[in-house]
């Protein structure tokens, strides 16, 4: 099986597909799981490239979901290493089925193919479609640089599009007749720069100008900004969202522009589950991997955050590159297709399978995970 998995991982790596268009990757993984005896539902939850693969050893046991991602990034391909996430999830599922077959141990294993992590949020749509309704625990890995670790909190996101509408006029000949929509953007950016001192340290506010004007000799009539705000806390984020909108309105007020705001909730902040994390760390160490203790907060955002608010969930980060190699870089892409990447794929599959076995065989572990989950859900 290991050679097949490595080949699928390398094929996905060589054929990077963007969000919601991961046709080859989803098909290779779904076909592999069908070949291993899973019942596979393709085009799940209304997405062509999502799938739900199911194996039931015997009725009446808990359900463990193992999550696969396989989308790539524009320009830099598999620079987030999702080829390893997808293939290790399929590998863990197959290993679990082989281990459970022939035992009387009741349990249900789901391998969920979740598209579009880098934009679009397949897991958010799967949560909304009720895919996690009967799931007792969810596991996923992500490749990383530096030491392997278990992910703690991730940042919740909220996205905006601000459109300013002014009035065009000759920039040199009759500027007094114009209303400058780029000035409005400048004031907005400056207001947010002032706001940075007064928000908690975990808050991130960043954006770009997607329309800045049409010609240098015309007072810009229409400008557009795309913006993101993030925080570990949904409560903090809600207040930051309001303050960012106030900053945007300041630009409109000062210049006399009309402002249109479109906004969208992004990914929720991930809630780590210490009970499952401890079991995962013990399994990684038993497999010979050096792992940081406890859980380590990340400065990114993931749609696994939404999953962690539905069911007890654990997101491990497995080393494929030395400290300092940035995610979303060409170097990270190379590591995701390297021998280290393949080693991380095997380690990820084994450690997820071991942790799933723990969850299926130790009711007290699952009970602790659930109790912790219910306490932490509202943060």
- Residues 53, 39 contacting (CB under 8 angstroms): yes
Residue nearer to Zn ion on the CB measure, 80 or 333? 80
**Residue that has been written with the tokens 């038993």 in this structure:** 286
Minimum distance of Zn ion from residue 219's CB (angstroms): 39
**Residue that has been written with the tokens 């790596």 in this structure:** 13
Minimum distance of Zn ion from residue 69's CB (angstroms): 7
Minimum distance of Zn ion from residue 117's CB (angstroms): 6
d(CA 34, CA 18): 24
Minimum distance of Zn ion from residue 85's CB (angstroms): 7
d(CA 112, CA 115): 10
Residue nearer to Zn ion on the CB measure, 80 or 271? 80
Minimum distance of Zn ion from residue 246's CB (angstroms): 31
Give the footprint of Zn ion on residues 71-110 (CB under 5 A). Answer: 80
Residue nearer to Zn ion on the CB measure, 157 or 223? 157
Order the strands of the 137-145 sheet from edge to edge.
Answer: 39-42, 51-58, 107-113, 63-68, 137-145, 313-321, 148-151, 291-296
Residue nearer to Zn ion on the CB measure, 80 or 94? 80
Minimum distance of Zn ion from residue 343's CB (angstroms): 19
Contacts of 18 (CB under 8 A, 6+ apart): 71, 72, 73, 74, 118
Residue nearer to Zn ion on the CB measure, 208 or 326? 326
Q: How many residues bind Zn ion (CB under 5 A)?
A: 1
Residue nearer to Zn ion on the CB measure, 62 or 121? 121
Residue nearer to Zn ion on the CB measure, 80 or 357? 80
Minimum distance of Zn ion from residue 302's CB (angstroms): 7
DSSP string, 67-136: EE----BTTTBSTT-HHHHHHHHHHHHHHHHHHHTTS---EEEEEEE---TTTT-HHHHHHHTTTTTT-S
d(CA 189, CA 3): 52
Q: By C-alpha distance, which of 353, 375, 357 is closest to 365?
A: 357
By beta carbon distance, the residue nearest Zn ion is: 80
Q: By C-alpha distance, which of 236, 235, 237, 225 is closest to 261?
A: 225
Residues near Zn ion (CB under 5 A): 80
């Amino acid at each position: 099986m290991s050679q097949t998995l490595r080949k699928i991982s390398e094929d996905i790596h060589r054929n990077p597909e963007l969000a919601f268009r991961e046709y080859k990757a989803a098909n290779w993984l779904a076909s592999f799981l069908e070949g291993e005896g899973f019942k596979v539902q393709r085009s799940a939850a209304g997405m062509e490239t999502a799938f739900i693969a199911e194996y039931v050893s015997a009725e009446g046991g808990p359900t463990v979901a193992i999550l696969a991602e396989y989308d790539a990034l524009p320009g830099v391909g598999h620079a987030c290493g999702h080829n390893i996430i997808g293939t290790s999830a399929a590998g863990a599922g197959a290993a679990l089925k082989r281990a459970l077959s022939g035992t009387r141990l009741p349990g249900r294993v789901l391998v969920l193919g979740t598209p579009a992590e880098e934009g679009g949020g397949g897991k958010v749509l799967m949560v909304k479609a009720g895919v996690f309704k009967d799931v007792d625990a969810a596991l996923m890995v992500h490749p990383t640089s530096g030491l392997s670790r278990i992910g703690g909190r991730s940042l919740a996101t909220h996205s905006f599009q601000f459109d300013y509408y002014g009035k065009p006029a000759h920039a040199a000949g009759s500027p007094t007749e114009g209303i400058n929509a780029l000035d409005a953007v400048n004031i907005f950016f400056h207001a947010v720069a002032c706001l940075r001192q007064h928000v908690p340290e975990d808050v991130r506010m960043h954006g770009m100008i997607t329309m800045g004007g049409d010609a240098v000799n015309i007072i810009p009539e229409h400008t557009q900004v795309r913006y993101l705000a993030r925080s570990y806390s949904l409560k903090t984020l809600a207040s930051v969202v309001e303050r960012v909108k106030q900053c945007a309105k300041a630009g409109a007020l000062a210049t006399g522009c009309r402002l249109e705001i479109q906004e969208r909730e992004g990914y929720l902040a991930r809630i780590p589950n210490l009970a499952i994390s401890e079991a995962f760390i013990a399994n990684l160490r038993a497999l010979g991997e050096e792992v940081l203790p406890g859980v380590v907060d990340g400065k990114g955002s993931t749609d696994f955050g939404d999953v962690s608010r539905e069911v007890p969930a654990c997101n491990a980060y497995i080393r494929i590159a030395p400290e300092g190699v940035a995610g979303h870089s060409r170097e990270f892409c190379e590591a995701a297709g390297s021998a280290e990447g393949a080693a991380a794929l095997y380690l990820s599959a084994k450690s997820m399978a071991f942790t799933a076995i723990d969850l299926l065989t130790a009711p007290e572990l699952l009970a602790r995970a659930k109790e912790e989950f219910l306490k932490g859900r509202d943060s």
